[in-house]
Amino acid sequence: MTDKTGKTVLQRYMRIPQPEDRVMCEYLWVDGSGEGIRSKCRTLDFEPKHPKECPVWNYDGSSTYQAEGSNSDMYLHPVALYSDPFRMGKNKLVMCEVFKYNGKPAESNNRKSCNEVCEKAAEEIPWFGIEQEYTMLDVDKHPLGWPKNGFPGPQGPYYCGVGANKVYGRDIVEAHYRACLYAGIKIAGCNAEVMPAQWEFQVGPCEGISVGDDLWVARYILHRVAEDFGVIVTFDPKPMPGDWNGAGAHTNYSTVKMRDDGFGYLEDRRPSSNCDPYSVVEVLIRTTCLDEC
């Protein structure tokens, strides 16, 4: 938002000095849909260096598709810590697992079982890289840059394209990339995709559970950046009907034995763009390392 002189209003307040003994921690978690990510902020009187230093917190699960009106307390257990690219300084993003009032993991908490599997297969040193595709939409839910009463030209010139008639939303992509680097996410690259207004970024290589943490936080950052630009990001695997490409989350995977033998990696092209990376990692490890599937 800008004031009447065109100056950004928010920056007036973001320049206010933050007390040295106060740190803002934005807690993030996967909601009951299994696709959405929620967040809320709290102040700590120290800078946490490890997620275990962050206190367990709670929220109302009846408002996040995770509980009924009774016994709706849900608990956030911090599991991964990142630098906050929006507030910067000592402030943090805190990825959390969700547990119910009775201490059991929420149905959407796929991280817990994934982490248990990763620990069983730790000696295999599994590496993952995920190619996250997504689509930018205008506030009217129409793809960004598309004609309002029609369609762009056929697919062909848009993939890795350059030019105002071929790519839409590059500012968001660049801002997201820089924000992920600042946060400490292992973002590996980005490119425009086959359908106009569709993009991809890659996370990895990451060992085990960390690829899920990095991808969920990268998704959160993308939503926040797009919010600043007044744009919607969707991870819908097929946002537009017709002869337009869908969106995926192709997952590249290897173990130490594969890498030592020079065999490279496997690419699983089944995961959709709205997948839960924790579930993908768990199934791949169970199948290839633990022979459980």
Residue-wise pLDDT tens digits, 121-141: 999 999 999 999 999 999 999
Tokens found for residue 61: 């699960």
pLDDT at 63 over 60: yes
Residue-wise pLDDT for 34-45, tens only, equals 999 999 999 999
45 is written with which tokens?
A: 């009187």
In angstroms, the CA 40 to CA 29 distance is: 9
Residues 243, 251: Cα–Cα separation, whole Å: 24
DSSP secondary structure letter of residue 155: S
Torsions phi, psi for 258 (to 5 deg): -65, -45
Which pLDDT score, from 0 to 100, does residue 2 have? Answer: 52
* CATH architecture assignment, domain 9-108: Roll (3.10)
pLDDT at 27: 99
Say how far residue 108 (Cα) sits from the centre of its chain: 15
Domain boundaries, the chain: 9-108, 122-288
Is the preceding peptide bond at 154 cis, omega within 30 degrees of 0? no
10 confidence band (pLDDT: 50, 70, 90): confident
Q: How far apart are CA 211 and CA 152, in angstroms?
A: 35
pLDDT for position 74: 97
pLDDT for position 3: 52
pLDDT band at 71; cut points 50, 70, 90: confident
CATH number of 122-288: 3.30.590.10
